[in-house]
A = this chain, B = another copy of it.
Amino acid sequence: MSDAIVPEDRLLSLATAALTAGGMTPPDAANAARVLVLADLFGLRTHGISRVPQYLDRVRLGGIDAAAKVEVTRVAPGLATVDGANGIGPLVGMRALEAAMEGARAAGIGAAFARGSNHFGPIAPYALIAAEAGFASIVASNATTTIAPWGGKDTRVGNNPFGIGVPNPGGDPVILDMALSVAARAKIRQFAARGEPMPEGWATDAEGRPTTDAAAALKGFLLPVGGHKGYGLAIMVDLLAGLLSGAAYLTRVRAWDKDPGVAQDLGHVFIAIDTSRLGSADWLRERMADFAAIIHDTPAADPASPVILPGEREMAAMHRQRRDGVRVAEDDLRKVEALAGQG
């Protein structure tokens, strides 16, 4: 499959037009498109504009309500709940992020707990938007179950994404955005499609036995990163993002790939911390520069691979692609153009 290179603003207007044609209001569509295009800028193409056709397929099947009115309720100066009303995930995510930042402006720290949502894209775009406004952030979501509880042999926990971002007034923010499995299911699908064995330790078969057979692994479950530690973190993310938000959790989350026409009721949590209350921008700039220098000066095991900070690769890709254009799959681009009525 060949790639296309598209300027950022063109990609943004295309994705916005496609989502608008799919039933979103233009401002809502622009809000959601911003998250997906940032994902492509970061090089996270599985979470970028390639999601637009998938989201709109589900809208057509009645699984997502593109015209949903997301409702934000402020329950305390720093705390909001968000009813996503089964809207497009990145829209719900943006509303929740804004509510968390509003709480942080008022109280120094703010949080928003969102329910009734769908796949909200990757975490890095939210962490970047927060960091650019001076907020450190903690963001997490639950997900369709693909992981077995540690010591169990049935998928009952999601590969829940979890991320943390810290602003850096003198350069790029540091952003961690990770899922809690050793490997992504999409990577296993690639091995299965090629008929190749996959690395050990990624997944088990349906009986819970370790396997390197990618096809068998797709019927089994993903292994959590760090064994019981990754399992524990996946549980805690679901408790915060799913249970406390009033959303579905664990096996009560519906699988979009099996039931595309049914509301998933995913949950997210967004926490924002106003770093300006902790010290001046100069103070933060100096400390971040010193912190980065200590890490970058670490002798590398392989001199060709210098030591980097979380998110550094993605931020470099963003700068490069903002300058040179964004690389997306030709096929994805054509689909989004068609949906935007520009095919």
Contacts and interface: CB of A to CB of B under 8 A. Distances in A.
A232 interface: yes
Interface stretch (A55-63, A89-97, A287-295, A318-326): A287-295
A308 to B, nearest CB: 8
Given A149-B295, A156-B294, A301-B153, A106 B109 contact: no
B152 A76 contact: no
A251 B301 CA distance: 19
Contact of A151 (B229, B278, B300): B300
Interface in A220-256: 225-226, 229-233, 235-236, 238-240, 243-246, 249-252
A31 B179 CA distance: 37
Nearest to A138: B138
Interface stretch (A22-30, A39-47, A192-200, A267-275): A267-275
A76 B273 CA distance: 11
A324 B302 CA distance: 54
A326 to B, nearest CB: 25
Contacts of A108: 75-79, 103, 107, 111
A136 B301 CA distance: 40
B295 A235 contact: yes
Given A107-B76, A109-B103, A111-B273, A307 B166 contact: no
A76 B111 CA distance: 15
Interface of A: 75-79, 81, 103, 106-111, 113, 136, 138, 148-154, 156, 164, 166, 174, 176, 178, 182, 208, 225-226, 229-233, 235-236, 238-240, 243-246, 249-252, 271, 273-275, 277-279, 287-288, 290-291, 294-295, 298-302, 305-310
Nearest to A296: B149
Nearest to A111: B109
A164 B235 CA distance: 10
Given A107-B76, A108-B79, A166 B236 contact: yes
| Oligomeric state, in copies | 2
A290 B242 CA distance: 13
Contacts of A208: 301
Contacts of A151: 300-302, 305-308
A144 to B, nearest CB: 14
10 smallest beta-carbon distances between A and B, as pairs: A76-B108, A79-B108, A225-B226, A78-B107, A152-B298, A107-B107, A232-B310, A164-B236, A152-B307, A226-B226
A318 to B, nearest CB: 18
Given A77-B108, A151-B306, A246-B278, 13 more contacts: A109-B109, A136-B239, A152-B307, A164-B233, A176-B236, A178-B229, A182-B226, A208-B301, A225-B229, A226-B226, A226-B230, A246-B279, A252-B294
